[in-house]
Amino acid sequence: MGYFINCQFNATEERKTPVSVSLTTSPCDFAENLLEIVKNQPENGIKKKFGVCVKFTCFDKRDFMIKFVEWVHLLRVLGVDKIHMYNRYVHADTYKAMKYFESLDWLEVREFLEPFEVPFKHPTDDGRASKRAVEIMTINDCIYRNRELYEYILVVDPDEIPIPRRPNETTLYDFLKVFEDKNIYDSYSFHCVTYPDLNFKAVSDVPEYHYMLQHIRRSKEFMRYHNFERMYLGKALYSMDNDEIISVNHHGTQLCHNRPCEILNVPEEAWQMSHYRDSIKEPSDSVTIEDLSLIHI
Residues 179-219: tens digit of each pLDDT: 887 668 888 989 888 888 765 656 778 888 888 988 888 88
Domain membership flag for residue 147: yes
Average pLDDT over residues 104-123: 73
Domain membership flag for residue 30: no
Q: What is the pLDDT of residues 136-188, one digit of tens each?
A: 888 999 999 999 999 999 999 999 999 999 888 999 999 999 988 766 888 89
Q: For residues 270 and 196, is the Cβ–Cβ distance under 8 A?
A: no
Structural domain for 97, as ranges: 41-296
Q: For residues 237 and 188, is the Cβ–Cβ distance under 8 A?
A: yes
* CATH at 143: 3.90.550
Whether this prediction's pTM lies above 0.85 is answered by yes
What is the percent of the chain with per-residue pLDDT over 90, rounded to a whole number?
A: 31
Domain membership flag for residue 258: yes
Domain membership flag for residue 113: yes
Quick one: which of 209, 173, 172, 171 has its CA closest to 68?
Answer: 209
What is the percent of the chain with per-residue pLDDT over 70, rounded to a whole number?
A: 81
Q: Tally DSSP H helices, then E strands, for the chain.
A: 6, 15
Burial (0-12, 13-18, 19+ Cβ within 10 Å), 108: middle
Quick one: which of 44, 268, 272, 70 has its CA closest to 159?
Answer: 70
Burial (0-12, 13-18, 19+ Cβ within 10 Å), 16: exposed
pLDDT computed for residue 142 by the predictor: 93
Q: Which amino acid is at 117?
A: E
- Going by their DSSP bridges, the two strands 107-111 and 20-21 should be labelled as unpaired
How many domains, the chain? 1
The torsion angles phi and psi of 282, rounded to 5 degrees, stand at -125, 145
Question: Residue 219 in 3-state DSSP?
Answer: strand
Average pLDDT over the chain reads 82
Q: For residues 50 and 76, is the Cβ–Cβ distance under 8 A?
A: no
Q: For residues 276 and 215, is the Cβ–Cβ distance under 8 A?
A: yes
The torsion angles phi and psi of 261, rounded to 5 degrees, stand at -75, 140
Give the pLDDT band (50/70/90) at residue 250: confident
Distance (Å, whole) CA 70 – CA 84: 16
Domain membership flag for residue 15: no
Q: For residues 195 and 276, is the Cβ–Cβ distance under 8 A?
A: yes
Domain membership flag for residue 22: no
Domain membership flag for residue 2: no
pLDDT computed for residue 231 by the predictor: 43
Q: What is the pLDDT of residues 36-64, one digit of tens each?
A: 888 888 988 899 999 999 988 877 776 78
Q: For residues 192 and 233, is the Cβ–Cβ distance under 8 A?
A: yes
- Going by their DSSP bridges, the two strands 245-248 and 234-239 should be labelled as unpaired
Quick one: which of 284, 281, 283 has its CA closest to 219?
Answer: 284
Distance (Å, whole) CA 27 – CA 4: 17
